[in-house]
Amino acid sequence: MGRALSLVGLLAMVAALLGLLATRMLFSPNPIAIAVQVAAVVLMIWARRAFGRRSFHAAADPTEGGLVTTGPYRLVRHPIYTAVCLFVFAGALTHLSLASVGLAVLELGGALLRMLTEERLLLQRYPEYADYAARTRRMLPYVF
């Protein structure tokens, strides 16, 4: 069930990104939005490098090799989802409309669904995940 829910989350995230792209609300000429989106890309690259050679799975599937708690993972448990959310909200909020906010919320909802299902699977695979989760936040250090 967890893997199926994670696929639903991924599909929601992809649909939101494609919707924002198709409606030209993902990118903005606003310098602040550009800076946030560049920071989001840097965070995603940093997180991906810290994650190592592990592959991406469309359905949540914890990989071999131990729990990653270095790089941005020592600050937040889900830096890649955080980066995607930052990127999307930076673009959507500079094109403020019901559609842009709706698509950004869809993306966030999909990311939250993926995070929650992945966390359950990670806890089953890596019992030490409970200690890691107790000392780190999901997306925003010291906040959430």
Tell me the backbone φ, ψ of residue 76, rounded to 5 degrees.
Answer: -140, 155
Once rounded to an integer, what is the mean pLDDT over residues 57-61? 61
Q: Given the structure tokens 């909020």, which residue do they identify?
A: 93
Q: Residue 1's CB: how many other CB atoms inside 10 A?
A: 7
134, two tokens: 């107790």
Over residues 75-85, mean pLDDT: 96
What per-residue confidence (pLDDT) applies to 140? Answer: 86
Give all strands (DSSP E) within the chain, no chain letters: none
pLDDT tens digits for 81-108?
999 999 999 999 999 999 999 999 999 9
Task: For residue 72, count CB atoms less than 10 angstroms from its CB and return exposed for 0-12, middle for 13-18, buried for 19 or more.
Answer: buried
Sign for the CA dihedral angle at 57, 62, 66, 72 comes to positive
